Amino acid sequence: MSSLSEFQLLSVLAQEKNMRRAAERLFVSQPALSQRLQNIEKEWEVKLFIRSQKGLTLTPAGEHVIKFVNEVLAKEEKVRESIHALNSEVSGTLKIAVASIVGQNWLPLVLKKFVSRYPQVKISLITGWSSEILRALYDDQAHIGIIRGTPDWKGVKIHLFEDKLYLVDTEITKPEQVLETDRPFIQFKSDSNYYQEIQDWWLHQFKTAPKRTVVVDQIETCKQMTFNGIGYAILPAITLNGEDKDIFKIPLLDEHKQPLKRDTWLLGYESNFQLKQVQAFAALIQEHIAESVQ
């Protein structure tokens, strides 16, 4: 039976699919890595990788072995976390999955405080749309998730903050002026519920579609195009960060004249909140939010 270090070697090879990059990650020479792989394949009595000029390709047998290897490594990590949880010191790995907009605009300051206070904790970070963050939690790729919107979640669910939505432009000062301008409405790709919220507001407000629309992949691209006067956009307050000196911000109001807001939540399974690093992170977030509203 191969050792855990050899399992780690196989996992890295499967991830990188390249001997040079794998050797760099494992801090070994390529010849030494090649020799260790040959020994492992001899032990398994089967070829695990096919080498070519393009790199490494898993054989069908190799795919089975790597699946087994990754399952063992995941179980090893859980055992280590359980052992760390027995100690009084906050350590281990904290796996966070966070909506990209929060990861870019809010989380860095929180993480800065956390790693300063708990230097023994390793951080693993996944970013993406809120739907992808939920999937990462379901698939056990993260201990906790931070998402936008209103989650359908049965585990621990902690409300973090809410921020208003604004119609943002360099020229427009009233919502009805969007019907007069020839510049485009710049939209960014997002989760369907956020997109639907904007569509509902627009149709209720104007009863007609925008004259022109530009759709971009990232919210930061949308923001920069808007700030440079290319068009107008609807952006949440979390993205503005005081960079809006020469920008007009018009709050979006619902049919009851109340501001439209976007909620941000911290989610996780009960079992993960028993980990000391998760408890410490959740407590620090609450502390950070309390300081922010003072």
Cα separation, 182 vs 154, whole angstroms = 46
pLDDT at 152: 84
pLDDT at 76: 87
pLDDT at 1: 44
Closest Cα partner for 247 from 165, 173, 166, 170? Answer: 170
pLDDT at 208: 87
Cα separation, 210 vs 178, whole angstroms = 8
Closest Cα partner for 260 from 193, 189, 212? Answer: 193
CB 235 within 8 A of CB 219: yes
pLDDT at 209: 86
pLDDT at 192: 66
Domains of the chain: 4-84 (1.10.10.10), 91-158+264-292 (3.40.190.10), 163-262 (3.40.190.10)
SS3 content of the chain, % helix, strand, coil (to 5): 50, 25, 30
294 residues of the chain, pLDDT tens digit each: 457 788 999 999 999 999 999 999 999 999 999 999 999 999 899 999 998 888 899 999 999 999 999 999 988 888 887 776 666 678 889 999 999 999 998 999 999 999 999 998 999 999 998 889 999 999 989 999 999 988 889 899 999 999 999 999 999 999 889 988 999 999 988 876 788 888 889 988 888 888 899 999 888 899 999 999 999 999 999 988 766 678 899 999 988 889 999 899 999 999 999 998 999 999 999 999 988 765
Alpha-carbon distance values, 170 to 34, 72, 214, 220, 225 (Å): 59, 55, 17, 16, 11
